[in-house]
Structure 1
Amino acid sequence: MLTRLTRFLAFAFILYKLPRFSLLRKAPAHNCDGQAMTDLSTNATAKDKKDGPNWIRGVNLGGWLVMERYIVPYQFAITTCHVQGDFCWYPGALSAPPLLHKDYKLCDLTRCHPYRNLTIFNGTDYPIDEWNLAKAFDNQTLATKWFDYHFNNFIRKEDLVRMKKAGLTHLRVPLPHWIRGDIRENEPWIAGNRWKVFVRLCQWCRNIGLEVWPNLHTAPGSQNGFDNSGIESSVYTCKGWGRHPENIERTLDVIHEISDAIAKDHLLDVVTGFGLLNEPFGDCKLNGYERFLEDALAITRANMGPNVHIFVSDLFGAPKFNDGSWWLDPVKYHNTYLDTHFYHTFDSHTRSMSPKEHINHVCHPEELQAEITSCCYQDAPSTNSTPSRGVKRISAEWSAAYDAMPGELLQFVMEGIAVNGTAPDFYRILEPDRREFLRKFVESQMVAYEAADSDLGRGWFYWTIKMEGGAFAEWDFSRGLEEGWIPPIATPGVASQDVYGNCDRILESTNNSMAIVHAFPWGDESYWKQYPIVESSETRIHRSFVWLGIAFVLAFALSNLLRRRRQLFGKYTSIDSEVDVEVPGKSNPQYVQE
């Protein structure tokens, strides 16, 4: 009786924890007013306003050549079959070959079991980053084959055609530092055919009419401790890179190797910009970082030409560069940009904002560092009235996500795959009110980051081009185009504010209903101390039935327990006896980072 009860309760708990699975359908391509979308090839225009800069309006190819779990969770949800070279895919996996390809097959999850081991976070999980995904394979040849499936299939030419048709001008492409084979002893990195597919991408873009701006996204030792540096740490810091001169020198060598290869592969007509290093953490020493930037700038322009566009990260604090001297020379620092990434999902305060508070935070940030015009000025820091004639400003990462923390939500996604064989909310549908706000949120950010009235802003890149599944739908630019919450892009030379209205006008027209705000997590506590995402009414009804069933079973069990208490209690050796539970992979903790 108790065994059956325990099994039922466990099953009910799993049902309660996992977000619901929608029907196998997508929302129709409608705009926020419920009307069919217009042809995306028609750019938004404003009459007689084509007098602005050639705005950089682009999208990131995130999760492609530097893989990230929340973008491609199925690529990391490997099984006992994968590590033996018996490759298979989950339904809807974006890294899979075409359905009719000879290698394509669905995973048989009765035979292929989740391959999870200990992580640095003292629990069991699928590989958490590229370092550990590579280490999961004992055979590097098999690992390379699995990685190459992703590189070959995640980005396709039709994706790029659609970006051009939507009105975008640029693509930002994150690259790892090992893409040209700079892999040292005891490093498990897999280069695979990344460079080959990057060259293929550039050739596609040449024919389509898009400019490519690669960005060095990782560094030896990790410049921030994020998973997007290739290896995640339990502490976010620059120290793994910045405290080790050999890692800085190695990074400069990598920048030389990549920029030199771009030139030698005859890609300079397409690759017109380069990002020197993505998101070094804020504890990097400013003077040392500035010296690195000077050296990297000289190397890149020596290889790619004096006019190549260079963008550099702001150490999560752009105002510290606004000192009245940094990169102001219009000759030496023309076509350079200080890059700030703007997100509302990584702080509990912004996650819980109302819709109008979100827009207001874009238009009138509470912190100076959240303002695109916080740098850079010729007369800084005293007056800040004359914009820099050298370095300008850009936001190379931002998104429409506003109320769910990716890292925390990802835990439920990966657990759902392990338990159910499908990513939770894979076919999630965004409600009309949510899509309406997303449109306003996107428009306000396009306007704010161009900063057309300041002569500082030069454009933006949305993060990111596509997402695997619906749990992180608000990050999915392609989906936004389809559903109408990404607006038609302004014509080149026309400021976004001349099309959508200025930031305050967008704010005034925003519906302030809190019904679309489902802040997750509620505070800054870790995911295991929090409740699941706020559910829809349909899910709440489902949950109610589950709890009614649990209550019925508990009442029935209690009745039996009272009748058989002596017999049942006689089975216990002690009130605090422990039962050993086998954890898959616990005896082989190969995911613990060294």
Structure 2
Amino acid sequence: MTPQQHIRQVCKFERDHINQCCWDGLPPKPTELKRFVGEWTAAYDQTPSPELEKHFREHPRELTPERFRFLEQFVLAQMMTYEATPEENLEYLPPKSVAGDFHGWFFWNFRMEETVYREWDYLRGVKEGWIPKLERGVTVEQQTGTDCAQLEEEALACTTEVVDPFPKIPHWKGIPCIAPSPAEVASLFLLKAFACVGVVAVVLFVLYALRYGFAKAWAELRACCGRGGSLEMARRKEFTRINDEPSSYDTNNPINVAA
């Protein structure tokens, strides 16, 4: 998923999933159970494993500005969602939903030994700046002056320098953030144009064949595209001599047609 899709996944779908907890009866009534989200991280494109540790020791991954910005957005989106009030939840839940109250969260983990696991390290996130220093008694939305909708709007709709899955996902292709060059745009246009011409030609051939028969359509297509060149030249080769004299090449001549 792109950064923008990750933000939407948290703010909308994960919020709806959490909100389905802790109701009783129909219409739903709140129970004494409260919603408290635990063990979330800023990780989104890697699976903890010895292979991951070995891979990033050999190929260290830099915290690019694009990745830094998304880590910040991803963290804020989760904090805002996991501590949202019923009024805030109603803006993102499906129509006619009954919104519950979310009572907070805790992060996994407070500290990690490996740089590989940067996205699991709360203290490292605070030190590097992609996790905010929270103020007591103030919500994240109030402290930052932003909300989930704004985060989603600002997040990248591409994956360059941000999403790099490990282990590699077969057939996964990212969405480049770099605009294609004029030459690439022109070549893509020509490719699409040739494809359209080919489709039109096939459709015309099928329509002709449905009207006159596939055998005739195929024969005329072969005659047109064969060694003889055009269909007109192919018809001329079928004319025979009359009275030992070469026939005229005028196809409108009744003698030639009869021959």
Place the TM-score, normalised by the shorter chain, in its bin.
0.5 to 0.7
Using the alignment, how far apart are the partners of 1:426 and 1:476 within structure 2? 20
Aligned equivalent of 1:495, options 139, 142, 161: 139
> Contact conserved, 1:426 with 1:471, CA < 8 A, in 2?
no
The one-letter amino acid of 1:482's match is K
The one-letter amino acid of 2:124's match is R
Please say which structure displays the higher CA radius of gyration.
2
Aligned equivalent of 2:80, options 420, 424, 447: 447
Q: Report the 3-state secondary structure (helix = DSSP H, G, I; strand = E; otherwise coil) of the residue aligned with 1:364.
A: helix
> Contact conserved, 2:34 with 2:103, CA < 8 A, in 1?
yes
> Contact conserved, 2:72 with 2:130, CA < 8 A, in 1?
yes
Aligned equivalent of 2:47, options 381, 390, 405: 405
Residue identity over aligned pairs, in percent, reads: 35
Q: Report the CA distance shift for 1:394/1:477 in structure 2 as closer, same or farther (over 3 A).
A: same
Correspondences of 1:540-579 after superposition (within 5 Å): none
Match of 1:376 in 2: 22
Q: Report the 3-state secondary structure (helix = DSSP H, G, I; strand = E; otherwise coil) of the residue aligned with 2:133.
A: coil
Q: Report the CA distance shift for 1:435/1:397 in structure 2 as closer, same or farther (over 3 A).
A: same
TM-score, normalized by length of structure 1?
0.25
Q: Deviations over 1:393-444 (max 9, x none)?
A: 111110000011113xx22525x7xxxxxx7169753111101000000000
Q: Deviations over 1:523-560 (max 9, x none)?
A: 4x8xxxx99xxxxxxxxxxxxxxxxxxxxxxxxxxxxx
Using the alignment, how far apart are the partners of 2:15 and 2:142 within structure 1? 26
Q: Report the CA distance shift for 1:518/1:449 in structure 2 as closer, same or farther (over 3 A).
A: same
Q: Report the 3-state secondary structure (helix = DSSP H, G, I; strand = E; otherwise coil) of the residue aligned with 2:57.
A: coil
Using the alignment, how far apart are the partners of 1:518 and 1:448 within structure 2? 25
Structure 1 unaligned spans of 5+: 1-352, 417-422, 532-594
Q: Report the CA distance shift for 1:514/1:485 in structure 2 as closer, same or farther (over 3 A).
A: same
Question: Which structure features the higher share of helix residues?
Answer: 2
Aligned equivalent of 1:472, options 92, 102, 117: 117
Using the alignment, how far apart are the partners of 2:13 and 2:46 within structure 1? 20
Q: Report the CA distance shift for 1:366/1:460 in structure 2 as closer, same or farther (over 3 A).
A: closer
> Contact conserved, 1:426 with 1:470, CA < 8 A, in 2?
no
Q: Report the CA distance shift for 1:459/1:366 in structure 2 as closer, same or farther (over 3 A).
A: closer
Match of 2:71 in 1: 438
Q: Report the CA distance shift for 1:412/1:480 in structure 2 as closer, same or farther (over 3 A).
A: closer
Q: Does 1:521 align with 2:161?
A: no
Match of 1:342 in 2: none
The one-letter amino acid of 1:354's match is T
Q: Does 1:387 align with 2:58?
A: no
> Contact conserved, 2:47 with 2:167, CA < 8 A, in 1?
yes
In the alignment of these two chains, the number of paired residues is 158
TM-score, normalized by length of structure 2?
0.54
Q: Does 1:508 align with 2:148?
A: no
> Contact conserved, 1:355 with 1:513, CA < 8 A, in 2?
yes
Match of 1:33 in 2: none
Q: CA deviation at 1:513?
A: 2.9
Q: Note the aligned Cα RMSD (angstroms).
A: 2.8
Q: Does 1:365 align with 2:8?
A: no
> Contact conserved, 1:394 with 1:458, CA < 8 A, in 2?
yes
Using the alignment, how far apart are the partners of 1:466 and 1:426 within structure 2? 22
> Contact conserved, 1:376 with 1:456, CA < 8 A, in 2?
no
Q: Report the 3-state secondary structure (helix = DSSP H, G, I; strand = E; otherwise coil) of the residue aligned with 1:518.
A: coil
Q: Deviations over 1:495-537 (max 9, x none)?
A: 22333333222211222331111122344x8xxxx99xxxxxx
> Contact conserved, 1:400 with 1:438, CA < 8 A, in 2?
yes
Q: Report the CA distance shift for 1:440/1:514 in structure 2 as closer, same or farther (over 3 A).
A: same
Q: CA deviation at 1:374?
A: 1.4
> Contact conserved, 1:426 with 1:469, CA < 8 A, in 2?
no
Q: Deviations over 1:261-286 (max 9, x none)?
A: xxxxxxxxxxxxxxxxxxxxxxxxxx
Structure 2 unaligned spans of 5+: 87-98, 173-259
